Amino acid sequence: MQAAQADDISADTVAGQVPELLVVSNPGSGAQDGQARREALATVFREQGRAFRFIDVDGPGDLEEASRRAAEEARGRKGVIVAVGGDGTINTVAQAAWRAGCALGVLPQGTFNLFGRDHGIAQDLEQAARMLLRARPRPVAVGEVNGRLFLVNASVGLYPQLLEDREVFKQQFGRRRWVAVLAGLVTIFEWRRQLTLEFERDGQAVVVRTPTLFVGNNRLQLERIGLPAEVVARVGEGELAAVMARPIGTGRMVLLMLRGAIGRLGEAEQVDSFAFRSLTVKVVGMRKLKLAADGEVGVMAPPLRFSVASRPLLLMVPRDEDRVPVA
Protein backbone atom coordinates (compact mmCIF):
# COMPACT_ATOMS: atom_id res chain seq x y z
CA MET A 1 0.00 0.00 0.00
CA GLN A 2 1.20 3.49 -0.77
CA ALA A 3 -0.30 6.70 0.50
CA ALA A 4 -0.87 9.40 -2.10
CA GLN A 5 0.61 12.81 -1.39
CA ALA A 6 -1.59 15.37 0.35
CA ASP A 7 -3.84 17.02 -2.23
CA ASP A 8 -2.95 20.74 -2.43
CA ILE A 9 -3.00 21.20 1.35
CA SER A 10 -0.09 20.31 3.59
CA ALA A 11 -0.92 18.61 6.87
CA ASP A 12 1.64 20.88 8.52
CA THR A 13 -0.52 23.93 7.87
CA VAL A 14 -3.25 22.59 10.12
CA ALA A 15 -1.15 20.80 12.72
CA GLY A 16 -2.61 21.38 16.14
CA GLN A 17 -5.84 22.73 14.71
CA VAL A 18 -7.82 20.03 12.94
CA PRO A 19 -6.83 16.41 12.26
CA GLU A 20 -5.70 15.22 8.85
CA LEU A 21 -8.09 12.84 7.06
CA LEU A 22 -6.70 9.55 5.71
CA VAL A 23 -9.36 8.37 3.28
CA VAL A 24 -9.74 4.65 2.50
CA SER A 25 -12.18 3.86 -0.32
CA ASN A 26 -13.84 0.58 -1.29
CA PRO A 27 -11.63 -1.00 -3.99
CA GLY A 28 -14.46 -3.26 -5.16
CA SER A 29 -16.19 -0.42 -7.02
CA GLY A 30 -15.47 0.40 -10.62
CA ALA A 31 -12.44 2.54 -11.46
CA GLN A 32 -14.59 5.26 -12.98
CA ASP A 33 -16.90 5.46 -9.97
CA GLY A 34 -13.91 5.43 -7.63
CA GLN A 35 -12.25 8.31 -9.45
CA ALA A 36 -15.47 10.32 -9.41
CA ARG A 37 -15.75 9.80 -5.65
CA ARG A 38 -12.18 10.98 -5.14
CA GLU A 39 -12.74 14.11 -7.17
CA ALA A 40 -15.95 14.93 -5.32
CA LEU A 41 -14.35 14.45 -1.92
CA ALA A 42 -11.20 16.36 -2.88
CA THR A 43 -13.35 19.31 -3.94
CA VAL A 44 -15.20 19.40 -0.62
CA PHE A 45 -12.04 19.06 1.48
CA ARG A 46 -10.12 21.69 -0.53
CA GLU A 47 -12.98 24.16 -0.26
CA GLN A 48 -12.79 23.90 3.52
CA GLY A 49 -9.00 23.99 3.68
CA ARG A 50 -8.78 20.53 5.24
CA ALA A 51 -5.66 18.36 5.05
CA PHE A 52 -6.42 14.98 3.49
CA ARG A 53 -4.85 12.06 1.68
CA PHE A 54 -6.32 9.16 -0.24
CA ILE A 55 -4.92 5.78 0.73
CA ASP A 56 -4.19 3.64 -2.32
CA VAL A 57 -5.64 0.13 -2.11
CA ASP A 58 -4.53 -2.41 -4.71
CA GLY A 59 -7.72 -4.47 -4.53
CA PRO A 60 -10.27 -5.98 -2.13
CA GLY A 61 -7.62 -8.31 -0.73
CA ASP A 62 -5.43 -5.36 0.25
CA LEU A 63 -8.15 -3.45 2.11
CA GLU A 64 -7.40 -4.94 5.53
CA GLU A 65 -3.66 -4.30 5.38
CA ALA A 66 -4.10 -0.83 3.89
CA SER A 67 -6.54 0.05 6.66
CA ARG A 68 -4.17 -1.24 9.33
CA ARG A 69 -1.31 0.90 8.09
CA ALA A 70 -3.48 3.96 7.65
CA ALA A 71 -4.91 3.57 11.17
CA GLU A 72 -1.45 3.29 12.69
CA GLU A 73 -0.42 6.44 10.86
CA ALA A 74 -3.61 8.23 11.92
CA ARG A 75 -2.89 7.36 15.55
CA GLY A 76 0.68 8.62 15.31
CA ARG A 77 -0.35 11.88 13.65
CA LYS A 78 -3.56 12.28 15.69
CA GLY A 79 -5.54 12.11 12.48
CA VAL A 80 -8.78 10.46 11.41
CA ILE A 81 -9.07 7.39 9.19
CA VAL A 82 -12.11 7.71 6.92
CA ALA A 83 -13.98 4.73 5.44
CA VAL A 84 -15.79 5.24 2.12
CA GLY A 85 -18.05 2.31 1.20
CA GLY A 86 -20.76 -0.03 2.40
CA ASP A 87 -21.14 -1.75 5.76
CA GLY A 88 -18.54 -4.40 4.88
CA THR A 89 -15.88 -1.85 3.94
CA ILE A 90 -16.70 0.28 6.97
CA ASN A 91 -16.35 -2.81 9.18
CA THR A 92 -12.83 -3.53 7.86
CA VAL A 93 -11.65 0.05 8.36
CA ALA A 94 -13.37 0.25 11.75
CA GLN A 95 -11.52 -2.83 12.99
CA ALA A 96 -8.23 -1.17 12.11
CA ALA A 97 -9.28 2.09 13.78
CA TRP A 98 -10.44 0.27 16.93
CA ARG A 99 -7.23 -1.72 17.26
CA ALA A 100 -5.04 1.34 16.66
CA GLY A 101 -7.13 3.53 18.94
CA CYS A 102 -7.68 6.31 16.40
CA ALA A 103 -10.87 8.09 15.36
CA LEU A 104 -13.01 6.79 12.49
CA GLY A 105 -14.93 8.85 9.97
CA VAL A 106 -17.66 7.22 7.85
CA LEU A 107 -18.85 8.19 4.35
CA PRO A 108 -21.52 5.57 3.51
CA GLN A 109 -21.70 4.34 -0.09
CA GLY A 110 -23.46 0.96 0.16
CA THR A 111 -27.03 -0.23 -0.29
CA PHE A 112 -28.30 -0.24 3.29
CA ASN A 113 -25.72 1.83 5.22
CA LEU A 114 -27.30 0.90 8.55
CA PHE A 115 -24.33 1.97 10.65
CA GLY A 116 -24.17 5.41 9.08
CA ARG A 117 -27.93 5.93 9.15
CA ASP A 118 -28.12 4.99 12.82
CA HIS A 119 -25.67 7.78 13.63
CA GLY A 120 -27.36 10.44 11.53
CA ILE A 121 -24.78 10.46 8.74
CA ALA A 122 -26.04 11.58 5.33
CA GLN A 123 -26.23 9.06 2.50
CA ASP A 124 -25.19 11.63 -0.10
CA LEU A 125 -21.40 11.55 -0.41
CA GLU A 126 -20.71 15.28 -0.57
CA GLN A 127 -23.18 16.09 2.20
CA ALA A 128 -21.64 13.40 4.42
CA ALA A 129 -18.17 14.80 3.70
CA ARG A 130 -19.21 18.30 4.79
CA MET A 131 -20.77 16.84 7.93
CA LEU A 132 -17.53 14.98 8.66
CA LEU A 133 -15.55 18.22 8.66
CA ARG A 134 -17.72 19.50 11.54
CA ALA A 135 -18.07 16.16 13.33
CA ARG A 136 -16.74 15.40 16.80
CA PRO A 137 -15.34 12.10 18.12
CA ARG A 138 -17.66 10.13 20.38
CA PRO A 139 -17.37 6.59 21.79
CA VAL A 140 -19.87 4.10 20.36
CA ALA A 141 -20.41 0.50 21.43
CA VAL A 142 -19.49 -2.25 19.00
CA GLY A 143 -20.05 -5.99 19.11
CA GLU A 144 -17.38 -8.67 19.19
CA VAL A 145 -17.37 -12.38 18.43
CA ASN A 146 -14.18 -14.37 19.04
CA GLY A 147 -12.07 -11.25 18.55
CA ARG A 148 -13.85 -10.04 15.41
CA LEU A 149 -15.74 -6.77 15.65
CA PHE A 150 -19.15 -6.10 14.16
CA LEU A 151 -20.90 -2.77 13.97
CA VAL A 152 -24.34 -3.90 12.78
CA ASN A 153 -24.78 -7.66 13.15
CA ALA A 154 -23.16 -11.09 13.21
CA SER A 155 -24.85 -14.37 12.37
CA VAL A 156 -24.43 -18.09 11.67
CA GLY A 157 -26.57 -20.59 9.82
CA LEU A 158 -29.06 -19.52 7.17
CA TYR A 159 -28.22 -15.81 7.11
CA PRO A 160 -24.55 -16.13 6.03
CA GLN A 161 -25.62 -18.53 3.27
CA LEU A 162 -28.25 -16.04 2.17
CA LEU A 163 -25.60 -13.31 1.93
CA GLU A 164 -23.28 -15.50 -0.13
CA ASP A 165 -26.06 -16.51 -2.53
CA ARG A 166 -27.21 -12.91 -2.84
CA GLU A 167 -23.72 -11.82 -3.90
CA VAL A 168 -23.63 -14.54 -6.57
CA PHE A 169 -27.00 -13.42 -7.92
CA LYS A 170 -25.91 -9.77 -7.93
CA GLN A 171 -22.81 -10.61 -9.93
CA GLN A 172 -25.00 -12.35 -12.50
CA PHE A 173 -28.03 -10.03 -12.62
CA GLY A 174 -26.86 -6.71 -11.16
CA ARG A 175 -27.28 -4.92 -7.84
CA ARG A 176 -31.02 -4.44 -7.84
CA ARG A 177 -33.42 -4.92 -4.95
CA TRP A 178 -35.49 -7.56 -6.76
CA VAL A 179 -32.30 -9.58 -7.32
CA ALA A 180 -31.64 -9.63 -3.57
CA VAL A 181 -35.22 -10.74 -2.89
CA LEU A 182 -35.01 -13.51 -5.49
CA ALA A 183 -31.71 -14.74 -4.07
CA GLY A 184 -33.22 -14.84 -0.58
CA LEU A 185 -36.15 -16.93 -1.74
CA VAL A 186 -33.89 -19.40 -3.55
CA THR A 187 -31.70 -19.80 -0.46
CA ILE A 188 -34.68 -20.38 1.83
CA PHE A 189 -36.22 -23.00 -0.46
CA GLU A 190 -32.91 -24.88 -0.68
CA TRP A 191 -31.87 -24.60 3.00
CA ARG A 192 -32.44 -27.71 5.09
CA ARG A 193 -29.78 -27.51 7.80
CA GLN A 194 -30.58 -26.93 11.47
CA LEU A 195 -28.00 -25.89 14.05
CA THR A 196 -27.99 -27.36 17.54
CA LEU A 197 -26.83 -24.64 19.92
CA GLU A 198 -25.92 -24.86 23.59
CA PHE A 199 -25.65 -21.75 25.78
CA GLU A 200 -26.52 -20.38 29.21
CA ARG A 201 -29.32 -17.87 29.65
CA ASP A 202 -30.49 -16.41 32.95
CA GLY A 203 -28.39 -18.98 34.78
CA GLN A 204 -30.00 -21.90 32.96
CA ALA A 205 -28.41 -24.22 30.39
CA VAL A 206 -30.33 -24.01 27.11
CA VAL A 207 -30.24 -26.29 24.06
CA VAL A 208 -32.03 -25.11 20.93
CA ARG A 209 -32.32 -26.16 17.31
CA THR A 210 -32.54 -23.31 14.85
CA PRO A 211 -31.79 -22.58 11.20
CA THR A 212 -29.95 -19.39 12.15
CA LEU A 213 -28.65 -17.30 15.04
CA PHE A 214 -28.61 -13.54 14.45
CA VAL A 215 -26.94 -11.12 16.88
CA GLY A 216 -27.63 -7.40 16.40
CA ASN A 217 -25.87 -4.25 17.54
CA ASN A 218 -27.87 -1.75 15.47
CA ARG A 219 -31.10 -0.34 16.87
CA LEU A 220 -32.25 0.91 13.48
CA GLN A 221 -32.11 -2.55 11.91
CA LEU A 222 -33.74 -4.23 14.91
CA GLU A 223 -36.53 -1.66 14.96
CA ARG A 224 -37.14 -2.11 11.24
CA ILE A 225 -37.57 -5.87 11.47
CA GLY A 226 -39.93 -5.40 14.40
CA LEU A 227 -38.18 -6.79 17.46
CA PRO A 228 -39.82 -6.01 20.81
CA ALA A 229 -39.13 -2.47 22.03
CA GLU A 230 -37.80 -3.73 25.37
CA VAL A 231 -35.09 -5.71 23.54
CA VAL A 232 -34.18 -2.92 21.11
CA ALA A 233 -33.90 -0.34 23.90
CA ARG A 234 -31.07 -2.28 25.56
CA VAL A 235 -28.91 -2.44 22.44
CA GLY A 236 -26.16 0.15 22.53
CA GLU A 237 -26.44 0.36 26.31
CA GLY A 238 -23.95 -2.37 27.03
CA GLU A 239 -26.01 -5.19 25.51
CA LEU A 240 -26.63 -6.96 22.20
CA ALA A 241 -29.77 -8.64 20.86
CA ALA A 242 -30.06 -12.29 19.84
CA VAL A 243 -32.70 -13.55 17.41
CA MET A 244 -33.41 -17.22 16.67
CA ALA A 245 -36.10 -18.99 14.69
CA ARG A 246 -37.48 -22.35 15.76
CA PRO A 247 -37.14 -25.28 13.33
CA ILE A 248 -39.83 -24.67 10.71
CA GLY A 249 -40.62 -25.60 7.13
CA THR A 250 -39.85 -23.61 4.02
CA GLY A 251 -43.28 -22.00 3.80
CA ARG A 252 -43.16 -20.66 7.34
CA MET A 253 -39.60 -19.43 6.79
CA VAL A 254 -40.77 -17.40 3.79
CA LEU A 255 -43.52 -15.93 5.96
CA LEU A 256 -40.95 -14.98 8.59
CA MET A 257 -38.88 -13.22 5.95
CA LEU A 258 -41.96 -11.28 4.87
CA ARG A 259 -42.75 -10.40 8.49
CA GLY A 260 -39.23 -9.02 8.87
CA ALA A 261 -39.62 -6.99 5.67
CA ILE A 262 -42.76 -5.28 7.01
CA GLY A 263 -41.40 -4.82 10.54
CA ARG A 264 -43.40 -7.46 12.39
CA LEU A 265 -40.87 -10.24 13.01
CA GLY A 266 -41.10 -9.92 16.80
CA GLU A 267 -44.79 -10.87 16.72
CA ALA A 268 -44.10 -14.32 15.24
CA GLU A 269 -44.48 -17.25 17.65
CA GLN A 270 -41.64 -19.05 15.86
CA VAL A 271 -39.08 -16.38 16.79
CA ASP A 272 -37.26 -15.96 20.10
CA SER A 273 -35.33 -12.76 20.85
CA PHE A 274 -33.57 -11.48 23.95
CA ALA A 275 -30.92 -8.96 25.01
CA PHE A 276 -27.66 -10.03 26.66
CA ARG A 277 -24.27 -8.73 27.80
CA SER A 278 -22.27 -11.80 26.85
CA LEU A 279 -23.23 -15.13 25.35
CA THR A 280 -21.06 -18.19 24.74
CA VAL A 281 -22.60 -20.50 22.16
CA LYS A 282 -21.48 -24.07 21.51
CA VAL A 283 -22.44 -25.54 18.15
CA VAL A 284 -22.97 -29.27 18.49
CA GLY A 285 -21.34 -31.45 15.86
CA MET A 286 -19.53 -28.66 14.00
CA ARG A 287 -15.83 -27.82 14.20
CA LYS A 288 -16.11 -24.81 11.88
CA LEU A 289 -19.00 -22.85 10.41
CA LYS A 290 -19.67 -19.79 8.31
CA LEU A 291 -20.13 -16.55 10.20
CA ALA A 292 -21.27 -13.27 8.68
CA ALA A 293 -20.22 -9.96 10.24
CA ASP A 294 -21.69 -6.79 8.70
CA GLY A 295 -22.34 -8.61 5.44
CA GLU A 296 -18.87 -10.16 5.09
CA VAL A 297 -18.81 -13.97 5.34
CA GLY A 298 -15.90 -15.92 6.82
CA VAL A 299 -15.26 -19.16 8.71
CA MET A 300 -15.00 -19.42 12.51
CA ALA A 301 -14.49 -22.25 14.98
CA PRO A 302 -16.95 -22.58 17.88
CA PRO A 303 -17.60 -21.95 20.67
CA LEU A 304 -18.74 -18.47 19.68
CA ARG A 305 -18.36 -15.78 22.35
CA PHE A 306 -20.58 -12.77 21.63
CA SER A 307 -20.26 -9.62 23.70
CA VAL A 308 -20.00 -5.87 23.54
CA ALA A 309 -16.35 -5.06 22.85
CA SER A 310 -14.18 -4.27 25.87
CA ARG A 311 -13.78 -0.66 24.74
CA PRO A 312 -15.80 1.52 22.39
CA LEU A 313 -15.00 2.69 18.88
CA LEU A 314 -14.17 6.39 18.55
CA LEU A 315 -16.52 7.58 15.81
CA MET A 316 -16.70 11.02 14.21
CA VAL A 317 -20.38 11.77 14.87
CA PRO A 318 -22.24 14.68 13.23
CA ARG A 319 -23.22 17.63 15.35
CA ASP A 320 -26.83 17.59 16.47
CA GLU A 321 -27.79 20.30 14.01
CA ASP A 322 -26.19 18.36 11.13
CA ARG A 323 -27.69 14.95 11.84
CA VAL A 324 -29.95 13.52 9.14
CA PRO A 325 -33.22 12.09 10.49
CA VAL A 326 -33.52 8.34 10.01
CA ALA A 327 -35.67 7.59 6.95
As a dihedral over the C-alpha atoms of residue 94, residue 130, residue 111, residue 145, rounded to 10 degrees, the angle is: 20
Amino acid 188 reads I
Q: Between the CA atoms of 302, 280, 119 and 50, what dihedral angle is there, to the nearest 10 degrees?
A: -60
Q: What is the DSSP string of 146-192?
A: TTEEESSEEEEEHHHHHHHHHHHHHHHH-S-HHHHHHHHHHHHHH--
Q: Rounded CA gap, 37 and 52, in Å?
A: 14
Instruction: Report the predicted TM-score, pTM, of the whole model to 2 decimal places.
Output: 0.84
C-alpha 268/C-alpha 150 separation (Å) is 26
H, E, C per residue of 244-296: EECCCCHHHHHHHHHHHHCCCHHHCCCEEEEEECEEEEEECCCCCEEEEECCE
Q: How far is CA 210 from CA 161, 186, 243, 244, in A?
A: 14, 19, 10, 6
| Average pLDDT over every residue of 237-241 | 93
Other residues' Cβ atoms within 10 Å of the Cβ of residue 250: 13
Distance in angstroms (rounded) separating the CA atoms of residues 242 and 240: 7
Domains and CATH numbers, the chain: 11-141+312-317 (3.40.50.10330), 149-308 (2.60.200.40)
Listed ranges 113-117, 164-168, 195-199, 265-269; the one with the highest mean pLDDT: 195-199
Least confident of 15-19, 24-28, 49-53: 15-19
Checking if the pLDDT of 11 tops 80, the result is no
Of these ranges, 52-56, 95-99, 107-111, 159-163, the one predicted with the greatest mean pLDDT is: 95-99
- 75-85 tens-digit pLDDT: 999 999 999 98
Please give the pLDDT value at position 28: 61
pLDDT-wise least confident of 52-56, 101-105, 147-151, 164-168: 164-168
Pairing mode, if any, of strands 289-293 and 21-25? unpaired
Q: Which amino acid is at 230?
A: E
Strands 278-283 and 80-85: unpaired
What pLDDT digit, counting tens, does each position of 252-307 carry?
A: 776 766 666 667 777 777 889 999 999 999 999 999 999 999 988 999 999 999 99
The pLDDT score that the predictor gives to residue 325 is 85
> Which of 14-18, 65-69, 186-190, 307-311 has the lowest average pLDDT?
14-18
φ, ψ of residue 206 to 5 degrees: the values are -125, 135
Q: Is the peptide bond before 27 cis (omega within 30 degrees of 0)?
A: no
